[in-house]
Chain A
Amino acid sequence: MNILVCVKQVPDTNEIKIDPETNTLVRDGVPSIVNTFDGYALEAAARIKDNAPDTKIVVLSMGPAQAEAALRECLAIAADKAYLLTDRAFGGSDTLATSYILSQAIRKVEDTEGKFDMIFCGKQAIDGDTAQVGPEIAEHLGYPQVTYALEVQEAAADQLKVLREAEDGKQVVGVGYPCLVTFTKPSFDPRFPTIKRKMAARKAVIEQITAADLADIDLGRAGLKGSPTKVKRTFVPPRKKSGMMITGETPEECAGKLYEALNGAHII
């Protein structure tokens, strides 16, 4: 099997801080990590490789030069090869442009690595939360896609059996190759890197791909210019105040205090 895993480097924070002037993420002082859901996608690939050791896992990330650290972490965990897609022309891409560039890059990586049987992505990045890039890559490539996957149950010769989260339970879906799968949180943690892989990953060569390497790319569909999404405003939603506790000796006393509070606030 030949698997590509798309990963993104994201700031490790539950509360993304946004610069009010520029409406961009404040990254200073926030450690960067591999997007959590992408880690689950990589683990799913690693589990396929556990059963079929001749499986190859390639990771691909689009981002600035420092995203190399995220790729090295993936190499330490399970990946065999890593590619960084980096170019100023790609800066400011929205999800449509990003997925377009990635789909072009996937074709380019396939020239070297051979055709991928499956492309794994996290369901969404924890910084943007759109959950659009994975499915859009599938559309650009014309691949069938399975979203919200929990785990791969079987990677058979003719199809991939995937357990996915559905609104009212779980589904097992079979999908032919090539396909794209986006992963959500499973019931296990991704594996830890071994020291040997960690040391090898530190020295590994990470292939860089720039716009110039993508012969067929239409740069009009990349970067800020190629992005139809217009961000009107970005803001941190105001925190909801926690509820008010009403305590008292008796239910009557509590009811009385509740009445006073509601009446005082002119709600009743």
Chain B
Amino acid sequence: MTTQYNPVTAEVIAELEKVVPGRVVVGADVNPDYSRDEMPIYGTRMPDVSVDALTTEEVAGIVKVCYEHNIPVTTRGAGTGLVGGCTPICGGVVICTTKMNKILSYDLDNFAVTVQPGVLLQDLADDALAHGCMYPPDPGEKLATLGGNVATNASGMRGVKYGATRDYVKAMTVVLPTGEITRFGATVSKTSSGYSLLNLMIGSEGTLGIITELTLKLIPAPKATVSLIVPFEDLSACISTVPKFKMNHFNPQAIEFFEKEILITSEEYLGKQVFPRKVDGSEVGAYLLITFDGDSQDEMDAIVERAAEMLLEEGAMDVLVADTPPKLKDAWAARSSFLEGIEEQTKLLDECDVVVPVNKIPDYVIFADELAKNYDFRLQYFGHAGDGNLHIYTCSNDMEKEEFLRQVDDFMSKLYAKTMELGGQISGEHGIGMGKVKYLAQALGETNMELMRGIKKVFDPKLILNPGKVCYNV
């Protein structure tokens, strides 16, 4: 699946100028950030032209020009992705949606909100709360755009109770690669109305169409929240308690696990110590961070007491409680800074975001640790224990880049093979972008990849939209 694209000529620029007068940025004036996301290790490239779009009609107009002239178009939001998903690897035009950042309307009778795709996750979360509602998807990166969240089917900490972004998208307006404007989905609670084009769009990473408006589902905001910090002597004891939550009729909003090493990295980044590193003189090896939500403090107190009893029986060294706003903030600030902490301390960084059945996490982590001993980089990992989603980082400060890439590729191939063996998937929430295409192909096989490419061609016959992502490399 390769295509010869045409260069962006003065004539094309003039046509784009007619669509968005004064907002066509060309050549060296293009913001260098538009050449990459947060993982430049997969490759970077400057686009020839960038446009900050403001409306659906503008996006459609730009795409139409690109379609007619056979020029690649890549959409980006805040650029916080981790798989090179928004990197304009074939050059051409970048459409940035971050200025389409209005929360358009609430339909509180139907618990729905309509937004432009450039609204930041944090802004919607705060605004929804002010309306007495919660937007449950909660990826670590709060400054990501909702368009990007939908494009990658992001999920994050609350996935264990509330699911992924996919579960909160009711409808969307889409600009197709031909420049046509269409609408998928509706503000209804269920549907059995043909193929779900809406769900095809979610997680398609900007390869099938450009989302220009979203109607998202909200839920009533929980009235009380409490988090437990649970230290264990080692990771295995820590993870093996996770399946017990559901068995004991607990329904936590989040269950995160992490080892002490990454906590120290994060606390150094934050410049303060938050969690205990010793309990009664014994060293802590790993932690669970668990959040429950509900309708009242009394309900929370009862749940926390029962959960603590179970955790202590399962070998927890202690159970610490965060139930006041400052304590909740402290507890989650440390967790939310893991990636930033790693990034600050690491020169060369690659990551994988596999998801495995929850009870397979200990086996998987032990395998990864053992495997990593054969390489020169070190591993840091943490994850959403409640839904089996692991973030494993390969980090080096002293390797040559070429050698790092070679070793990481070898490591990742073996790691992904293990993922499939355990019944897992290549990506839980970050997507495939251009960094994981090879591994996705290895995991899914030719039949499934060909189906994906077929879908791509139906939406995008000229392959101009975000080329070289998800189902094929260029």
Contact segment of B14-22, B40-48, B320-328, B455-463: B320-328
Q: Does A199 contact B (CB under 8 A)?
A: yes
B336 to chain A, nearest CB (A): 14
Given A31-B325, A73-B324, A195-B304: A189 in contact with B319 (beta carbons within 8 A): no
CA–CA, A26 and B321, complex, Å: 29
Report chain A residues within 8 Å CB of B272. 187-189
Q: Does B330 contact A (CB under 8 A)?
A: yes
Indicate which residue in A33, A188, A202 contacts B326 across the interface (CB closer than 8 Å): A33
- In contact, B273 and A187 (Cβ under 8 angstroms): yes
- In contact, A192 and B326 (Cβ under 8 angstroms): no
- In contact, B229 and A192 (Cβ under 8 angstroms): yes
Q: Does A194 contact B (CB under 8 A)?
A: yes
- In the complex, chain A residues 12-33 whose Cβ is within 8 Å of any chain B Cβ: 12, 31, 33
- In contact, A33 and B324 (Cβ under 8 angstroms): yes
Q: Does B30 contact A (CB under 8 A)?
A: no
- In contact, A191 and B301 (Cβ under 8 angstroms): no
Nearest residue in A to B322 (C-beta to C-beta)? Answer: A192
Indicate which residue in B274, B321, B325, B331 contacts A198 across the interface (CB closer than 8 Å): B321
Report chain B residues within 8 Å CB of A192. 229, 275-276, 320-322, 327, 331
B126 to chain A, nearest CB (A): 14
- In contact, A191 and B321 (Cβ under 8 angstroms): no
Q: Does A176 contact B (CB under 8 A)?
A: no
Q: Does B271 contact A (CB under 8 A)?
A: yes
- In contact, A189 and B325 (Cβ under 8 angstroms): no
- In contact, A12 and B321 (Cβ under 8 angstroms): no
Report chain A residues within 8 Å CB of B330. 189
Q: Does B308 contact A (CB under 8 A)?
A: yes
B30 to chain A, nearest CB (A): 15
CA–CA, A73 and B323, complex, Å: 10
CA–CA, A80 and B186, complex, Å: 58
Nearest residue in A to B319 (C-beta to C-beta)? Answer: A195
- In contact, B305 and A12 (Cβ under 8 angstroms): no
Indicate which residue in A34, A189, A193 contacts B274 across the interface (CB closer than 8 Å): A189
Q: Does B57 contact A (CB under 8 A)?
A: no
Given A12-B326, A31-B325: A191 in contact with B319 (beta carbons within 8 A): no
Nearest residue in A to B333 (C-beta to C-beta)? Answer: A189
CA–CA, A202 and B318, complex, Å: 18
- In contact, B321 and A194 (Cβ under 8 angstroms): yes
CA–CA, A255 and B305, complex, Å: 65
Q: Does A76 contact B (CB under 8 A)?
A: yes
Nearest residue in B to A188 (C-beta to C-beta)? Answer: B273
Nearest residue in A to B230 (C-beta to C-beta)? Answer: A195
CA–CA, A191 and B272, complex, Å: 12
CA–CA, A192 and B228, complex, Å: 9
Given A12-B326, A188-B272, A192-B327: A202 in contact with B321 (beta carbons within 8 A): no
A13 to chain B, nearest CB (A): 10
* Size of B's binding interface in residues, CB under 8 A: 24
CA–CA, A188 and B319, complex, Å: 20
Q: Does A61 contact B (CB under 8 A)?
A: no
- In contact, A12 and B325 (Cβ under 8 angstroms): yes
- In contact, A36 and B326 (Cβ under 8 angstroms): yes
Report chain A residues within 8 Å CB of B273. 187-189
Nearest residue in A to B320 (C-beta to C-beta)? Answer: A192
- In contact, B322 and A199 (Cβ under 8 angstroms): no
Report chain B residues within 8 Å CB of A76. 321
Report chain B residues within 8 Å CB of A198. 304, 321
- In the complex, chain B residues 326-349 whose Cβ is within 8 Å of any chain A Cβ: 326-327, 330-331
B16 to chain A, nearest CB (A): 19
Q: Mark A158-191, 1 if CB is under 8 A from B, else 0.
A: 0000000000000000000000000000011101
Nearest residue in B to A77 (C-beta to C-beta)? Answer: B327
Report chain B residues within 8 Å CB of A12. 324-326
Given A12-B326, A195-B304: A187 in contact with B271 (beta carbons within 8 A): yes
Report chain B residues within 8 Å CB of A195. 228, 304-305, 308, 312, 318-321
Nearest residue in A to B334 (C-beta to C-beta)? Answer: A189
Report chain B residues within 8 Å CB of A34. 324
A248 to chain B, nearest CB (A): 13
Report chain A residues within 8 Å CB of B275. 192
CA–CA, A125 and B165, complex, Å: 41
Nearest residue in A to B275 (C-beta to C-beta)? Answer: A192
Report chain A residues within 8 Å CB of B228. 195
- In the complex, chain A residues 74-105 whose Cβ is within 8 Å of any chain B Cβ: 76
Nearest residue in B to A34 (C-beta to C-beta)? Answer: B324
Report chain B residues within 8 Å CB of A189. 272-274, 330
CA–CA, A193 and B320, complex, Å: 5
- In contact, B276 and A191 (Cβ under 8 angstroms): yes
CA–CA, A202 and B323, complex, Å: 13
- In the complex, chain B residues 267-316 whose Cβ is within 8 Å of any chain A Cβ: 271-276, 301, 304-305, 308, 312
Report chain B residues within 8 Å CB of A33. 324-326
- In the complex, chain B residues 255-269 whose Cβ is within 8 Å of any chain A Cβ: none
B196 to chain A, nearest CB (A): 41
B206 to chain A, nearest CB (A): 29
CA–CA, A255 and B382, complex, Å: 50
B292 to chain A, nearest CB (A): 13
Q: Mark B227-248, 1 if CB is under 8 A from A, else 0.
A: 0110000000000000000000
Nearest residue in B to A70 (C-beta to C-beta)? Answer: B324
- In contact, A199 and B305 (Cβ under 8 angstroms): yes
Report chain A residues within 8 Å CB of B301. 202
Report chain B residues within 8 Å CB of A202. 301
Report chain A residues within 8 Å CB of B320. 191-195
CA–CA, A31 and B325, complex, Å: 8
CA–CA, A73 and B322, complex, Å: 11
Nearest residue in A to B228 (C-beta to C-beta)? Answer: A195
Nearest residue in B to A198 (C-beta to C-beta)? Answer: B321
Q: Mark B355-396, 1 if CB is under 8 A from A, else 0.
A: 000000000000000000000000000000000000000000
CA–CA, A33 and B273, complex, Å: 21
- 22 A/B residue pairs, CB under 8 Å, sorted by A: A12-B324, A33-B325, A34-B324, A39-B326, A76-B321, A187-B271, A187-B273, A188-B272, A188-B273, A189-B330, A191-B276, A192-B276, A193-B321, A194-B320, A195-B228, A195-B304, A195-B305, A195-B308, A195-B312, A195-B318, A195-B319, A198-B321
Listed from nearest, the 7 A-B pairs whose CB atoms lie closest are A192-B320, A195-B308, A195-B319, A188-B273, A189-B274, A189-B330, A198-B321
Q: Which residues of A contact B (CB under 8 A)?
A: 12, 31, 33-34, 36, 39, 73, 76, 187-189, 191-195, 198-199, 202
Give me 14 other A-B pairs in contact (C-beta within 8 A), A192-B276, A192-B322, A194-B319 excluded: A12-B326, A76-B321, A188-B272, A188-B273, A189-B272, A189-B273, A191-B276, A191-B320, A193-B320, A193-B321, A194-B318, A194-B321, A195-B308, A195-B321
